Amino acid sequence: MMRTIPPEFAPNTVAEIDATLDAIVRDETVRIPWAIESGSRAWGFPSPDSDYDCRFIYVRREPAYLSIWPQRDVIETPLIGDLDVNGWDLAKALRLMLKGNAVVLGWLRSPLIYRGEPTFRDALLDLASRHVDRQAIGRHYLHLGERQRRTYFGDGKSVATKKLFYALRPAAALRWLRLHPDAAIPPMHFPTLMAECDPPSDVMAMTDDLIARKAQTRELGQGPLPNLIATFVADEFAAAHEAFEGRVTAPSAAAKVEIDSFFQTSVTNVGH
């Protein structure tokens, strides 16, 4: 079982996450082969007061999938303080992954793991690398990034500095995809993503400074939108419109058979 929890994580919070996952396994009669930290902590630009965002993939026992009364395909727990624990059924994760939803791919590449079976993660990443359409992944990041830019950049006169990352991360992912034409799964960790997408040196320096400042203070305040960031984001979104507006290829029949087989094997074997 994999576990990579940094020493700076609050021990009481980690213990509460572990207890919550144990309770879900017991009360929902599920197995959890993959549970990770998502959000700003896993992305590599946390603030001192960042929430803990645990996300997990779960698998129900076989009879649950044979019922004509399907159960919900998400498990959500109440938000308590800075702790947020939610998960997706493996079937939901697989379907959305094949449609180009990059959320579950990020979970699989999270560097912060509460509990995880490496063979499960590696097999799922292998399926994704062979069957996920890069056009669909590119569109996911483009639409996400443009939505974040509209929401947080506004007229550019007064922008919450910490919100710059919400458009920067999709822009960097799009650049990474363009520079890695044989890959479809960008790194989740933002500093790694930036290093691998080779941005202009002044953009890299500014983002490094923003990350360092965000790590030291709970509030970065408001300010004019930095021209360097605005230009980088706009250029990457414009390039993505050219690169990722092609036709999305539907999964082949063979791919669906292979993914079904992975799901069925997981229902039978995961956690045993």
What global pTM score does this model have? 0.93
**Position 104: which residue type?**
V
pLDDT value at residue 220: 65
- Looking at the DSSP bridge assignments, the partners of residue 116 are 2, 34
Between CA 216 and CA 113 the distance in angstroms is 24
The model's pLDDT over 145-160, given as tens digits with 9 standing for 90+, comes to 999 999 998 877 788 8
- Listing DSSP states for 206-258 in one string gives HHHHHHHHHHH-S---EEPPPHHHHHHHHHHHHHHHHHS-SPPPPPPHHHHHH
> What average pLDDT score do residues 69-92 get?
94
Chain centroid offset of residue 142 CA: 15
Helix 190-197 to helix 164-179 angle (10° resolution) is 40
Over residues 95-104, the mean pLDDT reads 93
pLDDT, position 106: 95
Find how far residue 128's CA is from the centre of its chain: 14
Query: Among residues 119, 174, 115, which one has the least CA distance to residue 145?
Result: 174
Predicted confidence (pLDDT) per residue in 203-218, tens digit: 999 999 999 988 887 7
| Domain 11-131+251-269 = CATH 3.30.460 | yes
Distance CA 114, CA 130 (A): 27
Structure tokens at 2: 């994999």
Output phi, psi for 190, to 5 deg: -60, -45
CA atoms of 88 and 30, how far apart (whole Å): 11
Q: How far apart are CA 13 and CA 95, in angstroms?
A: 32
Paired tokens of 52: 């803990």
State pLDDT tens for residues 210-256.
999 888 877 667 888 899 999 999 999 999 999 998 778 888 899 99
CB 219 within 8 A of CB 153: no
Question: Could you tell me the residue ranges of all domains in the chain?
Answer: 11-131+251-269, 134-244
Confidence of residue 196 (pLDDT cuts 50, 70, 90): very high
Report the relative pairing of strands 52-60 and 83-89 from DSSP bridges. Answer: parallel
